[in-house]
Each structure stands twice: as structure tokens, then as C-alpha cells.
Amino acid sequence: MSKSETSKSSEAPTAQSKGKTAGSNIIAVASGKGGVGKTFFSITLAHALSKMGKRVLLFDGDLGLANVDVQLGLMPKRDLNDVIRGRLSLEKVVQTYEDGDFDIIAGRSGQASLSALPSQRLSLLRDQLIDISSKYDVVIIDLGAGVDRTVRMLSAAATRTLLVTTDEPTSLTDAYAFIKLGSAAGMSRKVSIVINQAASASDGEKTYKTLLKACENFLKLTPPLAGLVRHDPRVKESIRHQTPILTRSPNSEAAADVEKIAVYAMKLLAARARKAVNA
Ligand SMILES: Nc1ncnc2c1ncn2[C@@H]1O[C@H](COP(=O)(O)OP(=O)(O)O)[C@@H](O)[C@H]1O
Ligand SMILES: [Mg+2]
């Protein structure tokens, strides 16, 4: 049985599914550029939250590329393609990933992309996701890179966005562009930064400060730091074995760093829930 059907956690922030504006427990994982570790981070964050006793759903919002299904070695019988083709509702393609004890809505590599969906269908999908989110404590969306229409639509369902970047100049520039363009679309207030593949904690801090300075100087924005994930050879190794790092190398640096960010993410959601109550 999936954790969503049990009563493991009692602190579920309730989703505002009625207004279909955003799910108060939905976190989007974004990046300006691809290949920065967004999918690795999304999977590990979902797993870490599950280990904290949360009911978690991971949604692969970056269809068409080698993502959640490939990193975990899943061969889903049903996936988002069935939803895109109108064969099944979103709820019907949820599968439980036993190893991590969290639920997944998988894409399928090399298949139709969400970007091919007409806006109306995409917003219907988003509304279905917001509906489903009420069964979970946290929903994580692994977004595609950049700020195209699909990313904007899906991240609008999220109450918070974690923007992943590395210290590579191209990745940082694209992260800055994401914040700038997102700011125009009203997204940036909710963005926190994750520095991935940091050579060390102090190096990661430096990278964050570089990005922060640019945001403060040119955009008058101060996106907070969600945390740093150190570069760790066990990331590649666990992906090669199609096993989550929290299963294969739970004591690795990268795993510990993501676990810290999971605690941060829960604090973000709790603060968001309190605000909603007081509003
Ligand atoms: N913290 C890390 N340490 C070492 N390698 C990493 C780390 N994070 C990601 N990687 C490497 O980056 C590659 C791309 O990761 P992936 O999650 O597929 O990125 P994205 O989803 O952003 O395209 C992975 O194959 C992995 O080898
Ligand atoms: Mg990816």
C-alpha cells in the first residue's frame, strides 16, 4: 500500500485545490540549464522527505528526456504518455516506488513531450495534479530546464520553486536568466537556490553569493539559499546502478546535503501553511 493511503503523517498542509491556483504543498525543482542535477536532486529530495515520514509524490514534468524512470530503472506500465494521449486520468498513472516508499508519476524517455500539449490540456493536467496533491504531504515536480510554457504552467502550481545551479558560468548565467524571466512572470518571490556539485561547502557559499549579488544589483531580488549539495562520485555511481543514493550510499556527502535541504523544504511549506491560515 502506498503511504498516501496510510495516516503516517498528521501535519499535511492542505492543498488549495478548489481555486486551482497552486497546491500549498507542491515544490517545483527548476534549472536554467539542463544537466545540472535536477533529476538526481528531485529523486533524492523525494526519498529524503519519505524517510522523514512524509507522504511524497514525485512528478516527472520533464517528459521526453532520460529522467526519473531512467535514473531509477523503472519500466512503468502506465505513465504520463497515457494521460497526454487521453487514455488515462493522472490519478491512474501514479505508481508506488517501493524502494524509496514514495509515489511517482513517471514520464517515458524518448516519448511525446509535455510541450506538445495544447495549453488547455496542460492546465487540465496541472489542475489534476493540484487535486492529487491533497493526498500527500509534499509533491515534487521535476521540471524541464528553462522557462518555456510548460515550465511556467507547472511551476505556477507550486508554492515554492527550488532553482538548481552549479558553479559553471553557463549554469549560473542561465539561473540568473531564469530568475529574471520568472520575475516578469511573477514566479521569483518563491524561488530558493540550490547550489549543486559544489567542490566544498565554502565554494558553494561563494557561488551562491555571486548569484545573489547579481540578483540584488540588477533585479532587486534576494532569493534565499535552500542549501548546497557537494560534488560526490557516489551520485554518478548510484545513477549508474539505477538505485537512489539514499539506498546505495546513505552516508555519502551528497545524500546528507540533500537531507538537510529536505528539512529546509518542510520549513518552507510550514511557513507557507501558517501564512495561509493567518491570511
Ligand atoms: N552532487 C553531484 N555530484 C556529482 N555528480 C553529480 C551531482 N549531481 C549531479 N551529478 C551528475 O550530473 C549528471 C546530470 O544529472 P541529472 O540529474 O540528470 O541532471 P538534470 O536533470 O538537471 O538534467 C548526473 O548523471 C550525475 O552524474
Ligand atoms: Mg532531468
Residue 171: strand, helix, or coil: helix
Let me know: does 101 contact 64? Beta carbons within 8 Å: no
Q: What values do phi and psi take at 61, rounded to 5?
A: -95, 10
Comparing C-alpha atoms, which of 97, 121, 93 is closest to residue 107?
Answer: 93
What is the distance between the alpha carbons of residues 42 and 139, in angstroms, rounded to a whole number?
A: 10
First to last CA, the chain: 36
Expressed as residue numbers, the domain containing 226 is 24-278
CA of 40 to the centre of ligand 1 (A): 6
What is residue 273's predicted lDDT score, i.e. its pLDDT?
Answer: 74
In a domain, 17, yes or no: no
Q: Which three cell numbers stand for residue 197?
A: 556539485
pLDDT tens digits, 153-172: 888 899 999 999 999 999 99
What is the value of pTM for the model shown? 0.92
CA of 70 to the centre of ligand 1 (A): 13
Per-residue pLDDT band at 12 (split at 50, 70, 90): very low
Average pLDDT for residues 218-226, to the nearest whole number?
A: 95
In a domain, 45, yes or no: yes
Say yes or no to pLDDT of 6 above 60.
no
* CATH number of the CATH domain containing 210: 3.40.50.300
Site to probe by mutation for ligand 1, drawn from 38, 166, 229, 235 as the one with most ligand atoms within 8 Å of Cβ, is 235
In a domain, 170, yes or no: yes
Site to probe by mutation for ligand 1, drawn from 44, 65, 236 as the one with most ligand atoms within 8 Å of Cβ, is 236
Ligand nearest to the CA of 37: 1
Task: For residue 220, give the H/E element and its range.
Answer: none
CA of 99 to the centre of ligand 2 (A): 20
pLDDT tens digits, 48-58: 999 999 999 99
Let me know: does 99 contact 60? Beta carbons within 8 Å: no
Site to probe by mutation for ligand 1, drawn from 31, 40, 167 as the one with most ligand atoms within 8 Å of Cβ, is 40
In a domain, 9, yes or no: no
In a domain, 19, yes or no: no
What is residue 19's predicted lDDT score, i.e. its pLDDT?
Answer: 42
In a domain, 11, yes or no: no
Residue 144: strand, helix, or coil: coil
- Which residues, including other chains, have CB under 8 Å from residue 177's CB and lie 6 or more apart? 32, 147
Total structural domains within the chain:
1
In a domain, 14, yes or no: no
- Residues by chain with Cβ below 5 Å of ion ligand 2: 38-39, 67
CA of 34 to the centre of ligand 2 (A): 7
Burial class of residue 218 in the structure, from the number of CB atoms within 10 Å of its CB (0-12 exposed, 13-18 middle, 19+ buried): exposed
In a domain, 162, yes or no: yes
